[in-house]
Amino acid sequence: MLSKRKGHVRSLFKAMCLGAAIVIGGCNGQIDNSLLSSGSNQQNGLIIEPTAGSDTQYRLGTGDKVRLIVYGEPELSGEFVIDGAGVVNLPLIGSVRAKGTTVQQFQQRVVDAFKNGYLNDPKVAAEVLNYRPFFITGEIKQGGQYPFRSGLTVQDSIAIAGGYTYRADIDKVYIRREGRDKEIAVSLKSRVPIVPGDNIRIPERYF
């Protein structure tokens, strides 16, 4: 009876590994926990951040374009791009740090800046107008930088870049999240979402 239970456990473990499509290297590999951040989850072995379509979770970054509406103050409203320093230069109040904040946090920073001697009771609304691009390289026909839109997957990005070259490994890709120095190997057995700023590399097959 004990040996049967052990055999069942081993079979269940193998099935879990296969179904989860874990990071290349199988269940013997380990995910670097330092890559995990608040609100992240794992899918196909990739550390997945909250989707760009969720403004309550999405973190702003260089290249994002935001729209600010300051109610009753049209001259202070407009569309602004987060610059290389991670700030937005706004009328009257100057530079406001945006990189790494959620839309709501950035909005509150703008409100606080206006309250600091400029407006008595500022009402501000902020939203992401255009997301920063993603990048795709390697064994792809038209590698480069492409505009991001909500809902994109790795498979979509490959199609946007013209498809694989004949040398491509079509079973996996490597993804490096913006601001991180490690790539993660990802199985393509199911659709894999990407986020703005992702660097996607299509590897060459070895046989």
- Residues near 96 by Cβ (< 8 Å), separated by ≥ 6? 87, 88, 90, 106, 109, 110, 113
Taken in order of first residue, the domains within the chain and their CATH numbers are 20-52+132-202 (3.10.560.10), 65-130 (3.30.1950.10)
Nearest CA among 195, 43, 42 for reference residue 132: 195
Q: Kindly report which listed range (8-12, 71-75, 97-101, 102-106) carries the lowest average pLDDT score.
A: 8-12
Q: How confident is the model at residue 113 (pLDDT cuts 50, 70, 90)?
A: very high
pLDDT mean over 24-43? 40
Strands 184-187 and 172-176, bridge-based pairing: antiparallel
pLDDT tens for each residue of 122-165: 999 999 999 999 999 999 999 999 999 989 999 999 999 999 99
Contact indicator for 175, 46 with CB cutoff of 8 Å:
yes
pLDDT tens for each residue of 158-183: 999 999 999 999 999 999 998 888 99
pLDDT mean over 13-30? 37
Q: Taking the model in full, what pTM does it have?
A: 0.68
Phi/psi for 21 (5° steps) reads 50, 60
- Per-residue exposure over 49-58, b if at least 16 CB sit within 10 Å of its own CB, e if not: bbebeeeebb
